Amino acid sequence: MPIALASIPPPIPSHFKLDRPPKSGSRSGIFRFRCLKTSLSARKSSDVDVDTFTKYSGYVFESGNLEADALVEYNVAKIAAIYRRKPVLLLRRLLQIGTRFGRWFVLRYIDSAMERSDEMFKVRAAQLRGILVELGPDVIPPAYLDELSLLQDRIAPFSSEVAFDTIEQELGLPLDVIFSHISPEPIAAASLGQVYQARLQSSGKVVAVKVQRPGVQAAISLDIFILRFFAGWIRKAAKINTDLQGVLDEWAASLFREMDYREEAKNGLKFRQLYGGLQDVVVPEMYLEQTSRRVLTMQWVEGQKLSEVKDLYLVEVGVYCSLTQLLECGFYHADPHPGNLLRTYDGKLAYLDFGMMGEFRQELRNGFIEACLHLVNRDFDALAKDFITLGLLPPTAEKNAVTKALTDVFQNAVDRGVRNIRFGDLSGNLGRTMYKFKFQIPSYFSLVIRSLAVLEGIALSFNPDYKVLSSSYPWIARKVLTDNSPQLRSSLQALLYEDGVFRIDRLESLLSEYTRVGTEKALAKGEADTNPRVVLKQILSFTLTEKGAFVREILLQEFAKGLDALVLVTMDSVSSATATRFPFGSSLSLYVMDDEDIRNLKTLLRLTRLLSWSPKNEQIVEVEQVNIYKNSNAYFEEASLVFNRLASFQDVLPVLSTIPELPSELQQQLLLLPADLARRLISRAAARTIRRIFL
């Protein structure tokens, strides 16, 4: 539930001060404002629709029906035991839900039959909102409520008198001892509770005070009990592989945690500690002393809803922060709908509402990163294994058939390039193959997917061409290139060496995406400096640091292979030229090269291009000069290109010019590389000589 809205009132004026009773702490009068009695009475007389939820569904939490409201945590067995003893209450709720939704679905069917669905959409949406307000906060999962997010602010608040009573009972102190000011009416009202603006008596800080709606847990418990029954019945009848009750239980457990404001405050503190230091991210402070199970006090944040301002930069900040949550720390905001994301007046992104959070285990984080890598690089065989690791496919799934199906699903999307892949399209296309191969959606995965899909949905409202995967992949590339976990190191090794052959094109792609990251702000803006000199400096700085040691090792190894092949072809050329001077000498060759040597020469050519950071689509124009290799063999041509490339001062200049700009410790590391490369080259030459002598 958002703590601050698009229109934020000014600080509380002095005439909103509390009237103290004759005795401090006395219950002879409930603390209220001078204007409170008037405002409440005016509301009662003029607004007959105050607190619609209580009016139509109050019977759910009337006296005698509050056992579920006392539950501290979600417990399926206890909820079932409570409502099995109340068949009349259960039947009444079923009839209420059935008749309300049944009538609405009939009207939608009539609209469709009369071809007026588009015309009546807003009318039916408003009617659906009314039904949801009557039935309670969470009769259906939040994913469906997202479509009604624009209507959420219209939820009628419950009585402020009840809210102030709740604050005093929960915190155990009179209202004027806790706050020097508090707004007479809620600033915002939502499904689970409503928010007041107040000023702490102890520090004078302006805070948001969230008070839980009375009876909300009892109503939610009953509705979950009903939904679990239907989820089990639907799964059996439709033979669905996904554990619908398990998914519902995961959501319900997070919802129960969300209703315990003490847990939300702890989540907020942890979220602030992990992500409050990210650039242009704001996480409000929590006040634990003024927080209880049904009352939450947190820092007041002013600004506008992100959905109401066209700020693509902050959308990208949100994507970056979410990737950090999901794949770096594993503690993520599981309900990032537009109402929970705020643009502060100084242009920063504020996160609100920490009731629904998720945990993403390390092995699953790595599996998710690997799946993205394999998808982008069209390795559908490895992607099938990733789906098993992530729990999307059973281990018994037929691997070859799954690989073919995934190729059919994703090939066209991936061929358009990573920057043109839309997350929503991938998940939609995948759904068509789920039934055939007995796909299952683990409970944790539904929250992760929803988190990413919501982010792309927010961005698409600003920019129809936005792709969340395009913004995500540079982060993933940086993660896989720099992470020292054995699992990701093994994945990078397997990605770069396919059947023992070095795929430099994949390394180029990863480094290209890595340079798009630059800094946090550059990633968030979707920008990176494309100046080759700047990009080259980024690559050199990365490969010379400890985080780049694994990639540096690979580059040195491939440089050694390429230089070894270059030396070999040079000596072969010299020996061939010498042999032609002697009878029958032209048929002799002391240095036999094979296909691997030619591949190594081609790799060396690509590596020399990498040093000057030539664009991958650059066409190498051969300078008109004497080719020292007259032999028609392919490896002579490759060697000629390498020599021409190395001899071009223009290509070497960018490397030399960036060296003085590197930190001194990186310059020292760079000076060690020639000796390391020479040792590798000598080792390869010695091994080849021994092999030829004894084999």
Query: Which residues are known to be catalytic?
Result: 335
**What is the C-alpha separation between 443 and 139, in angstroms, rounded?**
19
**What is the C-alpha separation between 136 and 139, in angstroms, rounded?**
6
Would residue 417 be called left, alpha or beta, if left means φ above 0 and alpha means ψ between -120 and 50 degrees?
left
**What is the C-alpha separation between 138 and 115, in angstroms, rounded?**
31
Tell the residue number behind the tokens 């982010």, with chain if given: 455
What would the DSSP string read from start to end of 441-504?
A: --HHHHHHHHHHHHHHHHHHHH-TT--HHHHHHHHHHHHHHH---HHHHHHHHHHHEETTEE-H
| Closest C-alpha to 666, from 494, 513, 541 | 541
Contacting residues for 494 by C-beta, under 8 A, at least 6 apart? 382
Would residue 239 be called left, alpha or beta, if left means φ above 0 and alpha means ψ between -120 and 50 degrees?
left
Would residue 343 be called left, alpha or beta, if left means φ above 0 and alpha means ψ between -120 and 50 degrees?
beta
Asked whether 454 and 146 are in contact (CB, 8 A), the reply is yes
Tell the residue number behind the tokens 């090794």, with chain if given: 493
Paired tokens of 505: 């094109």
Q: What three-state secondary structure class fits 343?
A: strand
Instruction: Tell me the chain's radius of gyration from C-alpha atoms.
Output: 33
* Helix runs in 291-398, H state only: 312-323, 362-376, 380-389
Q: What is the 3-state secondary structure (H, E, C) of 152-201?
A: HHHCCCCCHHHHHHHHHHHHCCCHHHHEEEECCCCCEECCCEEEEEEEEC
Asked whether 214 and 166 are in contact (CB, 8 A), the reply is yes
